[in-house]
């Protein structure tokens, strides 16, 4: 059922469509206008009034102080990457021995040559120890040694079309990975009693060492964490107090959107099916029809050398052009009938690109441009935004403030930029914004009486963040989890309910979230759910997913959660779909209906644009059509099959086999949905189609083994649980 206001854009579209030779699409929710919303920026570097849509306009974006305009080079092929002044090296702790660099390089070379593959772990650990000697006395020499070894042993691939020596030089340049790797080498605890080396060898050296066993958080640890045994026992008895909505029946509409990854270098006409990484840029090519163009190329390859052409509204293997990102944001108020009351953005604004194209300047430019348009297109409701692993330079990295010297504040340029932006956009007071600098871009605010939103920088449990391998057995080197616990205690005292918002998910197949910090997070969630924590919101995977949090079997290595009944579920995390189609998915966002007072999700509606229709759009009088894909309640609340089999374990009485209309879509609901999926495997297939929003490029999951694995992922809340689920090619993700 469409709310009446949705009919307005529909009618407007039908009137316009009469002039169009193209048959009108079925069940249209909102057709974006074809014209670029040029009023969003005051000026443009490139603003073609071009009916053929041969280029995407390039806005001139002013910085937050309006003192300068970000350079057009960020959006063109000449982009040179991070300037060397962005590189931060550790201080040397001793003077280098004579010829140290040469000896270390020579010794590393013989070590790697002697590696038969029989004991790659020992080889890798010895190599780290040698690297540490150099990093501690001649840190500036480390990038050069990495570059030489990379070239000598072909550490990196050359799909980009660059020569190996060029790829190595650019990748390990100080301001790319070189200086960060030097810090990690210098600060890691490489004694045999520490796991730092094994983690580095597992995650950075492609599995050279096995993954260290996860830490068990025993009763003594948890008692200490939660302020003593008696306090912890009181916490474990917490139940959800019945609450009556502040204004009975009043609901809010809350946008959850994620992973826009806007690509300012998107080039219409470029190769969209490239073999060279992220596509649709001047240098993209498909090796079966073209040779690698030089990086300085500014024009698309000749049409004969392009296998699929990048089109104005975007393509499956490409990040969002401005045109697509803006059409999604414009669609929100139309599909919703009015501006949303509030928005949660779960991270990743910056495009995927080679490490040598990512810079602090690109991060600041993207944040500035995107937050400005959020403000203008989403209305006055605040946008609470989490930092994603791509929203830093270098990508994936964030360092704890416990690091010494210059390395302590190396990412503060980013947190301070966000702090200024959140105030400038009118979402935060100065006092609220102070937290953003202290918590690595995170913050805790109460936008409505009784609701608290805690936003975390989840890079501190992301496997791609090499700084997490320092003090690797310590689960909270950033202090974020201690701070979260403190915020939850405060919220509980005040009777608030909390939404935890972040980018990288903790559970599903366990491939993204590190075992120790995500397991501690799970313990924290268990202790404050369901009473205080209402919901958890993540992004990152670009796919529609959810994770149910069950109580942990503290030291069990078996699969306790796989068998737990639904009524024991404590919390649920929602993973939002992406706006970027860049991983072969259709572009999408969702809007929750939230009950005021309980702050629980009553339903959500998901909207998507079919990227395979984009090549047909230029020449018509409209842009992408944003359609209603599904309502969660309509799609998933029929539990008849599991109820008939006697396997419905939610305990909430059903109404004719359906989840009651008055009950929220809380953790019990999502856990009971997994009962239903076991009873009705076709429901997993439906879920799977929505994971990629009906993308024709989505990988299928048609075997029962894959379906079982999917249900296991839905019931996995942390890295350890996720890794205990079965794995298989294409099981966890629709992306090919
Ligand atoms: C350092 O290397 C140079 C040439 O590579 C060599 O002549 C010299 O003896 C070396 N010094 C030491 C102390 O090893
Ligand atoms: C390099 O290897 C040689 C021979 O094994 C050894 O004498 C020397 O101490 C090593 N140098 C370093 C810096 O590890
Ligand atoms: C691995 O080690 C074993 C015993 O140490 C040896 O027999 C075998 O040849 C080695 N394999 C390789 C490939 O080096
Ligand atoms: C290195 O790790 C071990 C094991 O956790 C610990 O005992 C030792 O104190 C650590 N060393 C430093 C310098 O922190
Ligand atoms: C490259 O182009 C060929 C021919 O058009 C196509 O079959 C192939 O899938 C493309 N490669 C990629 C990685 O998309
Ligand atoms: C384009 O394709 C033609 C025909 O296959 C080939 O001869 C030419 O080298 C290609 N050009 C580029 C830039 O790859
Ligand atoms: C690692 O632990 C040591 C000892 O507890 C501490 O001094 C150091 O700051 C920690 N390093 C990081 C990166 O947190
Ligand atoms: C694991 O759990 C069992 C029973 O629940 C208990 O007896 C045992 O002491 C626990 N082991 C550890 C290491 O906590
Ligand atoms: C979910 O809602 C139902 C119905 O209100 C309630 O009985 C159940 O306890 C709730 N579950 C959680 C985890 O809050
Ligand atoms: C619920 O699903 C069952 C089959 O599992 C079907 O027979 C029934 O009609 C469905 N109920 C509704 C209200 O859709
Ligand atoms: C119901 O649960 C039992 C025991 O877990 C299981 O063997 C059976 O396959 C389930 N039936 C359905 C229809 O899910
Ligand atoms: C975990 O549970 C799934 C079923 O949901 C099962 O297929 C898998 O084998 C279990 N893994 C372990 C280690 O028990």
DSSP labels for 80-138?
----GGG--PPPPSSPPPTTHHHHHHHHHHHHHHH--STTHHHHHHHHHHHHHHHHHH-
Query: Counting ligands in written order, which one lies closest to the CA of residue 555?
Result: 8
Q: Kindly give, in sequence order, each residue whose CB lies less than 8 Å from that of residue 237, ignoring residues fewer than 6 positions away.
A: none
pLDDT value of residue 29 = 87
pLDDT of 736:
76
Compute, in angstroms, the gap from residue 666 CA to the centroid of ligand 9: 6
Q: At residue 235, does pLDDT exceed 90? A: no
Tens-place pLDDT, residues 38-48: 999 999 999 86
- Identify which of 359, 292, 346, 285 has the alpha carbon closest to the alpha carbon of residue 317: 285
DSSP annotation string for 493-555: HHT-EEEEE-SS-S-TTSSSB-HHHHHHHHHHHHHHTTTTEEEEEE-SSSS-EEEEEPPP-TT
The answer to whether position 558 is within a domain reads yes
The whole-number pLDDT of residue 251 equals 95
CA pair distance 211, 675, nearest whole angstrom: 32
**Is the same domain home to 349 and 449?**
yes
CA of 47 to the centre of ligand 7 (A): 51
| The pLDDT of residue 473 | 85
The Cα–Cα gap between 44 and 34 comes to 18
Query: Helix, strand, or coil here: 31?
Result: strand
CA–CA dist 673, 655 (Å, integer): 15
The reply to whether omega before 394 is within 30° of 0 (cis) is yes
CATH code assigned at 247: 3.60.21.10
Ligand number nearest CA of 704 is 12
The pLDDT of 287-295, averaged and rounded, is 94
Residue 339 lies in a domain: yes
Structure tokens at 720: 């350890």
Residue 146 resides in a domain = yes
Ligand 2 near 129 CB (within 6 A): no
Q: Is the pLDDT of residue 492 over 90?
A: yes
* Residues 209-234: tens digit of each pLDDT: 999 999 989 999 999 999 988 888 87
| CB of 662 shorter than 6 A to ligand 3 | no
Sign of the alpha-carbon dihedral angle for 137, 140, 141, 147: positive
Residue 155 binned pLDDT confidence (cut-offs 50, 70, 90) = very high
Residue nearest atom 6 of ligand 1, based on CA coordinates: 99
Look at residue 13 and tell me whether its pLDDT is greater than 50.
no
Which of the listed residues 240, 601, 670 should we mutate to test ligand 9's pocket, taking the one with most ligand atoms within 8 A of CB? 240
**Phi, psi values for residue 150, rounded to 5°:** -60, -45
- Which stretch of DSSP H or E encloses residue 459? none
Mutate to test the pocket of ligand 4, among 190, 193, 197 (most ligand atoms within 8 A of CB): 193
Residue 562 has pLDDT above 70, yes or no: no
Pocket, ligand 12, Cβ cutoff 6 A? 558-559, 562, 708, 711-712, 724-726
For ligand 4, the distance from its centroid to the CA atom of residue 188, given in whole angstroms, is 10
Identify which of 194, 402, 471, 477 to mutate to test ligand 4's pocket (most ligand atoms within 8 A of the CB): 194
In a domain, 156, yes or no: yes
pLDDT value, residue 224:
95
Tell me what the mean pLDDT of segment 95-112 comes to: 96
What is Dmax (Cα atoms) for the chain? 82
Does residue 75 sit within a domain? no
Closest CA to 82 of 165, 151, 178, 156: 178
Q: Whose CA is nearest to atom 5 of ligand 6?
A: 289
Q: Are 133 and 185 in contact (CB under 8 A)?
A: no
Ligand 6 lined by 291 (C-beta under 6 Å): yes
Q: Find all residues with CB under 8 Å of 689, minimum gap 6, and list them.
A: 698
Angle at 413 between CA 412 and CA 419, to 5 degrees: 80
Query: Does residue 24 have a pLDDT over 50?
Result: no
Q: Which helix (H) or strand (E) holds 354?
A: none
Count how many domains the chain has.
Answer: 2
- pLDDT, tens only, 644-673: 999 999 999 999 999 999 999 999 999 999
pLDDT at position 478? 97
Stretch 543-570: mean pLDDT, rounded? 80
Asked whether residue 300 carries a pLDDT value surpassing 60, the answer given is yes
Last residue of a domain, one of 193, 219, 250: 193
Cβ neighbourhood burial of 624 (10 Å; 0-12, 13-18, 19+): buried
pLDDT higher than threshold 70 for residue 5: no
Range in 518-522, 563-567, 679-683 with the lowest mean pLDDT: 563-567
Backbone angles phi, psi at 591, to 5 degrees: -125, 120
The yes-or-no verdict on residue 25 having pLDDT over 50 is no
Of all protein residues, whose CA lies closest to atom 8 belonging to ligand 1? 99
616: tokens are 């047909």
Are 248 and 187 within one domain?
no
Residue nearest to atom 5 of ligand 3 (CA): 118
Assess whether 254 and 158 both reside in one domain: no
- Closest residue (by CA) to atom 10 of ligand 10? 638
Q: What are the tokens at 1?
A: 């059922």
pLDDT higher than threshold 80 for residue 26? no
What is the residue with the minimal CA distance to atom 7 of ligand 12? Answer: 726
Same domain (yes/no): 119, 239: no
Reported as a pLDDT band with limits 50, 70 and 90, residue 320 is very high
Whether ligand 6 lies within 6 angstroms of the CB of 301 is answered as yes
3-state helix, strand, coil in the chain (%, to 5): 40, 15, 50
What secondary structure letter does DSSP report for 332?
H
Report how far residue 623's alpha carbon sits from residue 616's, in angstroms, rounded to the nearest whole number: 10
Closest residue by CA, ligand 10 atom 7: 640
Query: For a pLDDT cut of 90, what percent of the chain falls above it?
Result: 84
Q: What tokens were used for 637?
A: 């609340």
Choose between 648 and 117: higher pLDDT: 648
Count of other CB atoms within 10 angstroms of residue 71: 15
Judgement on whether residues 439 and 550 belong to the same structural domain of the protein? yes
User: Residue 283: is the preceding peptide bond cis (ω within 30°)?
Assistant: no
Ligand closest to Cα of 556 equals: 8
Mean pLDDT, range 229-242, rounded to an integer: 67
Residue nearest to atom 14 of ligand 4 (CA): 189
Contact 528, 496 (CB under 8 A): no
Q: What is the pLDDT of residue 295?
A: 85
pLDDT for 49: 66
| pLDDT, mean of residues 375-396 | 95
What is the pTM (predicted TM-score) of this model?
0.93
The residue whose CA is least distant from atom 7 of ligand 9 is: 652
Q: Select from 657, 677, 682 the residue to mutate for testing ligand 10; criterion: most ligand atoms less than 8 Å from CB.
A: 657
Residues 523 and 426: their CA atoms lie apart, in Å, by 35
The closest alpha carbon to 126, from 186, 180, 192, belongs to 192
Q: Is the CB of 107 under 6 A from ligand 2?
A: yes
Is there an atom of ligand 9 within 6 Å of 666 CB? yes
Domain boundary among 165, 193, 221: 193
Last residue of a domain, one of 170, 193, 216: 193
CA of 226 to the centre of ligand 6 (A): 65
pLDDT at 150 over 90: yes
Residue 301 Cα, ligand 6 centroid: separation in angstroms? Answer: 9
The answer to whether residues 404 and 341 belong to one domain is yes
Which percentage of the chain shows pLDDT scores above 70? 92
Chain mean position to CA 93: 37
pLDDT band at 265 (very low <50, low <70, confident <90, very high): very high
C-beta contacts of 231-238 below 8 A and 24+ residues apart = 232/527, 235/527, 235/528, 236/527, 238/492, 238/527, 238/528, 238/531, 238/532
Domain match, 648 and 506 both: yes
Q: What is the mean pLDDT of residues 131-139?
A: 98
Mean pLDDT of 228-249: 64
The number of the ligand 11 atom at minimal distance from the alpha carbon of 647 is 1
Ligand 2, atom 13: closest residue by C-alpha = 104
**Which protein residues touch ligand 5 with a CB less than 6 Å away?**
273, 275, 286, 288-289, 307
| pLDDT confidence of residue 116 | 84
β-strands 545-549, 44-46: how paired? unpaired
Cβ count within 10 A of residue 64: 18
State which of 114, 115, 116 you would mutate to test the pocket of ligand 3, scoring each by most atoms of that ligand within 8 A of its C-beta: 116
Q: Is 63 left (phi over 0), alpha (psi -120 to 50) or beta?
A: beta
Token output for 357: 């194209």
The answer, yes or no, to whether any atom of ligand 9 lies below 6 A from the CB of 214, is: no
> Is the distance from the beta carbon of residue 290 to the nearest atom of ligand 6 less than 6 Å?
yes
Query: Could you tell me the residue range of the domain that residue 618 belongs to?
Result: 16-27+235-262+317-723
pLDDT band for 289, please (50, 70, 90 cuts): very high
- Between 52-61, 104-113, 226-235, 496-505, the lowest mean confidence (pLDDT) is in 226-235
- Mean pLDDT, rounded, for 287-315: 95
Looking at the fold, whether 667 and 554 belong to one and the same domain comes out as yes
Ligand nearest to the CA of 195: 4
Instruction: Flag whether 602 is in a domain.
Output: yes
What's the distance, CA 628 to chain centroid?
23
| Closest-CA residue to 91 (of 182, 164, 3) | 182
**Residue given tokens 């007072």 in the structure block:** 597
CB 711 within 8 A of CB 546: no
Asked whether residue 125 falls in the same domain as residue 20, the answer is: no
Q: With respect to residue 11, please indicate whether it lies within any of the assigned structural domains.
A: no
Flag whether pLDDT at 144 surpasses 70: yes
159 shares its domain with 248 = no
Which ligand has an atom closest to residue 307 CA?
A: 5
Alpha helices in 600-681 (DSSP H): 632-636, 640-644, 667-679
The string of pLDDT tens digits covering residues 581-621 is 999 999 999 999 999 999 999 999 999 999 999 999 998 99
Going by the DSSP 8-state scheme, the letter that residue 707 receives in this structure is H
| Two tokens, residue 597 | 């007072």
Q: Helical H runs in 557-612?
A: 560-563
Range with the lowest mean pLDDT among 304-318, 500-514, 520-534, 542-556? 542-556
Do 249 and 115 lie in a common domain? no
Structural Rg of the chain based on CA atoms? 26
Lowest mean pLDDT among 80-94, 261-275, 535-549, 701-715: 80-94
Q: Which ligand is nearest to the CA of 460?
A: 7
Cα–ligand 1 centroid distance for 170 (angstroms) = 29
Region 727-734 average pLDDT: 95
Measured CA to CA, the distance from residue 506 to residue 511 in angstroms comes to: 9
Q: Is residue 491 part of a domain?
A: yes
Q: For all residues of the chain together, what is the average pLDDT?
A: 91
Pair (89, 22) in one structural domain: no
For atom 7 of ligand 11, which residue has the closest CA? 647
């Amino acid at each position: 059922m469409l709310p009446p206001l949705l009919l307005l854009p529909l009618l407007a579209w039908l009137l316009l469509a009469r002039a169009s030779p193209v048959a009108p699409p079925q069940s249209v929710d909102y057709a974006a206008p074809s014209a670029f919303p040029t009023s969003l920026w005051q000026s443009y570097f490139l603003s073609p009034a071009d009916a053929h849509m041969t280029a995407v306009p390039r806005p001139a974006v002013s910085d937050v102080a309006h003192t300068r305009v970000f350079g057009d080079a960020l959006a063109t092929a000449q982009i040179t990457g991070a300037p060397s002044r962005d590189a931060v090296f550790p201080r040397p702790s001793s003077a280098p021995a004579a010829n140290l660099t040469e000896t270390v390089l020579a010794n590393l070379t013989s070590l790697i040559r002697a590696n038969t593959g029989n004991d790659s772990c020992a080889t890798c650990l010895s190599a780290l120890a040698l690297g540490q000697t150099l990093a501690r006395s001649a840190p500036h020499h480390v990038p050069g040694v990495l570059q030489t070894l990379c070239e000598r042993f072909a550490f990196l691939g050359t799909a980009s079309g660059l020569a190996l020596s060029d790829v190595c030089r650019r990748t390990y340049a100080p301001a790319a990975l070189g200086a960060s790797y030097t810090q990690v080498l210098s600060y890691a605890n490489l004694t045999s009693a520490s796991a730092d080396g094994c983690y580095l060898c597992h995650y950075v050296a492609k599995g050279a060492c096995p993954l260290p066993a996860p830490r068990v958080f025993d009763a003594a640890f948890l008692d200490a964490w939660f302020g003593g045994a008696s306090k912890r026992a009181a916490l474990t008895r917490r139940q959800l107090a019945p609450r009556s909505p502040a204004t009975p029946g009043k609901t809010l509409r809350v946008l959850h959107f994620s992973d826009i990854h806007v690509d300012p270098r998107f080039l219409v006409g470029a190769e969209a099916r490239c073999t060279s990484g992220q596509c649709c840029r001047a240098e993209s090519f498909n090796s079966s029809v073209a040779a690698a163009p030089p990086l300085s190329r500014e024009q698309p390859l000749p049409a004969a050398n392009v296998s699929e052409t990048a089109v104005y509204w975007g393509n499956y293997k490409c990040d969002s052009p401005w045109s697509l990102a803006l059409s999604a944001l414009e669609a929100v108020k139309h599909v919703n009938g009015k501006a949303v009351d509030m928005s949660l953005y779960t991270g990743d604004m910056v495009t995927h690109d080679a490490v040598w194209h990512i810079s602090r300047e690109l991060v600041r430019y993207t944040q500035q441009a995107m937050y400005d348009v959020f403000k203008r297109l989403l209305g006055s409701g605040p946008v609470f935004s989490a930092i994603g692993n791509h929203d830093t330079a270098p990508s994936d990295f964030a360092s704890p403030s416990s690091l010494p010297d210059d390395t302590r504040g190396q990412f503060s340029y980013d947190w301070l930029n966000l702090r200024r932006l959140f105030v400038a956009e009118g979402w935060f007071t100065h006092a609220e914004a102070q937290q953003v600098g202290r918590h690595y871009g995170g913050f805790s605010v109460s936008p409505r009486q009784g609701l608290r939103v805690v936003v975390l920088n989840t890079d501190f449990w992301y496997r791609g963040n090499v700084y997490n391998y320092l003090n690797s057995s310590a689960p909270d080197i950033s202090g974020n989890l201690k701070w979260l616990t403190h915020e939850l205690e405060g919220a509980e005292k005040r009777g608030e309910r909390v939404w935890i918002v972040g980018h990288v998910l903790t559970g599903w197949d366990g491939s993204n979230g590190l075992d120790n910090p995500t397991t501690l997070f799970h313990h924290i969630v268990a202790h404050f759910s369901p009473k205080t924590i209402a919901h958890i919101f993540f992004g990152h995977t670009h796919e529609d997913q959810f994770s149910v949090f069950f109580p942990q079997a503290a030291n069990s290595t078996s699969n306790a959660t796989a068998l737990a009944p639904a009524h024991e579920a404590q919390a649920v995390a929602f993973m939002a779909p992406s706006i970027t189609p860049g991983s072969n998915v259709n572009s999408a966002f969702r809007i929750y209906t939230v009950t005021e007072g309980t702050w629980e999700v009553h339903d959500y509606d998901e909207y998507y644009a079919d990227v395979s229709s984009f090549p047909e759009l230029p020449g018509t009088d409209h842009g992408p059509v944003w359609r209603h894909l599904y309502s969660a309640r309509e799609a998933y609340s029929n539990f008849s099959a599991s109820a008939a089999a006697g396997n419905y374990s939610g305990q909430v009485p059903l109404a004719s086999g359906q989840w009651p209309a008055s009950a929220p879509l809380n953790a019990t609901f999502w856990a009971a949905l997994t009962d239903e999926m076991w009873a009705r495997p076709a429901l997993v297939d439906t879920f799977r189609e929505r994971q990629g929003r009906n993308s024709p490029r989505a990988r299928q999951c048609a075997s029962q083994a894959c379906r079982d694995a999917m249900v296991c992922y839905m019931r996995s809340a942390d890295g350890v649980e996720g890794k205990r689920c079965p794995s298989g090619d294409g099981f966890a993700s629709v992306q090919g």
